[in-house]
Amino acid sequence: MTNIAVIDLGSNSVRVSVAKKESGEVVYIGKNPIMLSQGMNHDMLLKEAPIKRCKEAFLQIKEIAKKLEVEEIYAFATAAVRKAHNKKEFIDFIKEETGINIFVLTGEEEAELDCLGVLEKTEINEALILDTGGGSTEFIGVKEGRIVGAVSIPIGSRSIKELFFAD
């Protein structure tokens, strides 16, 4: 049976889920708090130390994927990479060092995926879903089980912390 891995590269952490491709049964979930957006608030550049932590986390994921016989790895980045002025250099570096391609979600795509996750796990038909991440916050309106509006604003818990508090 084929396994696939999905990586969620956020501002605070890297999360990975491995599932059986045919059934969707999750066989592994992991999280590594790499704080990718650490220090980027003032110049919007991803910094060397967080980039190195990200590379190491991706290499660990590759080892896990090998042990779990993963055939495909899909990596999706959110606000930290989306906002970074050195986004292309970062994506190219990670690809070169780990072999993993990163797809950067738009704020709207992130909001839609948030909504799909909530609707999959709940009985909600009408709601305002709020997802506060490290680098962005998404608001998603749901009516009759469908998205009626979604917006992403480029401020989250990590960016607020760095604006007002020292590490």
Return d(Cα 143, Cα 63) in angstroms, integer. Answer: 42
Q: What pLDDT, in 10s, does the model give residues 44-69?
A: 999 999 999 999 999 999 999 999 99
Distances (CA, A) of 40 to 49, 119, 129: 11, 33, 27
Neighbours of 156 (CB within 10 A): 24
By the 10 Å C-beta count (0-12 exposed, 13-18 middle, 19+ buried), 152 is classed as: buried
- Reading the block at residue 104, the tokens are 């950067």
pLDDT at site 165: 80
Ranges of residues in the chain whose predicted pLDDT is under 50: none
By the 10 Å C-beta count (0-12 exposed, 13-18 middle, 19+ buried), 161 is classed as: middle
Distances (CA, A) of 110 to 41, 62, 78, 83: 21, 24, 7, 13
Tokens 């969620």: give the residue. 8
0.85 exceeded by the pTM?
yes
Distances (CA, A) of 46 to 19, 50, 68, 80: 30, 7, 31, 8
pLDDT at site 167: 60
